[in-house]
Chain A
Amino acid sequence: GEDVEQSLFLSVREGDSSVINCTYTDSSSTYLYWYKQEPGAGLQLLTYIFSNMDMKQDQRLTVLLNKKDKHLSLRIADTQTGDSAIYFCAVIQTGANNLFFGTGTRLTVIP
């Protein structure tokens, strides 16, 4: 099976950039996602990247993929207090139908 690892906590000051990291074990992972979970809410898809890409930018979000190191990161520019949440990295392997989620990183934005 796939192991997806994330650091548990990250604190940043409002206006700074946040970088949330994720590592995975299966090199056949083809689709890689970032989800956001706010308290008491379900998961919201933020962005995704295909394994043949190494970067994707979407407004304040930048996803970087290093396939060689099996490392995925999410950069949030100009972090706001509304960005405080738990961020999950998730991957799908070739031929599989479901997401493998990481443990989640709790982002706290300090005003």
Chain B
Amino acid sequence: EAGVAQSPRYKIIEKRQSVAFWCNPISGHATLYWYQQILGQGPKLLIQFQNNGVVDDSQLPKDRFSAERLKGVDSTLKIQPAKLEDSAVYLCASSLVAQGWNTEAFFGQGTRLTVV
């Protein structure tokens, strides 16, 4: 079974520039998550999709971050404009259904963003 694919693996941009990350979840997984992991911290949920609808985006800084999941499969996360504090690893995860008992979320390798 192919895992969660993310690209790019690394990205370095200057502050105020824009950047986009892409995620391809495991085939058939209805739920997709984007997490932000700042160095030395645990991942924090940015947004959760169920198919192509948003379930939870309460922690997404909507003035600069946006995400979409067209056709309920692939997803993109965009930051525009980027700030220094956005430097982090952005993790995508997917699961068959929303997380709960015996429902494992599978994580991609992440995209490491450095804003200079």
Q: If the complex has contacts A45-B104, A92-B99, are A99 and B109 also in contact, measured as CB distance less than 8 A?
A: no
- A109: interface (CB < 8 Å): no
Interface size of B as a range: 20 to 34
Q: Per-position contact with A for B66-82: 1 when CB-CB < 8 Å, else 0? A: 00000000000000000
Chain B residues lying within 8 Å of A30, measured Cβ to Cβ, are: 101
Nearest Cβ in chain B — how far from A61, in angstroms?
A: 15
With a CB–CB cut-off of 8 A, which chain A residues contact B98? 97
B14 at the interface (CB under 8 A from A): no
Within 8 A of A (CB), among B80-107: 91, 93, 98-102, 104-107
Residue of B42, B43, B45, B110 contacting most chain A CB atoms (<10 Å): B42
- Chain B residues within 8 Å of A103, by CB: 40-42
The SS class assigned to the A binding surface is strand
Contact A101 B43 (CB under 8 A): yes
Is there contact, CB below 8 Å, between B91 and A42? yes
Does B24 lie at the interface of the complex (its beta carbon under 8 Å from any beta carbon of A)?
A: no
In order of increasing CB-CB distance, the 5 nearest A-B pairs are: A101-B42, A42-B107, A43-B107, A98-B45, A97-B98
- Give 30 A-B contacts (CB < 8 Å), ordered by A residue: A4-B42, A8-B40, A30-B101, A31-B99, A31-B100, A41-B109, A42-B3, A42-B4, A42-B93, A42-B106, A42-B110, A43-B43, A43-B107, A44-B107, A50-B101, A90-B42, A97-B48, A97-B56, A97-B98, A98-B48, A98-B56, A99-B43, A99-B45, A99-B105, A101-B42, A102-B42, A103-B42, A104-B40, A104-B41, A104-B42
- Give B residues with C-beta under 8 Å from A: 3-4, 33, 40-45, 48, 55-56, 91, 93, 98-102, 104-110
Listed in ascending order, the chain A residues whose CB lies under 8 Å from chain B are 4, 8, 30-31, 40-45, 48, 50, 88, 90, 92, 97-99, 101-104
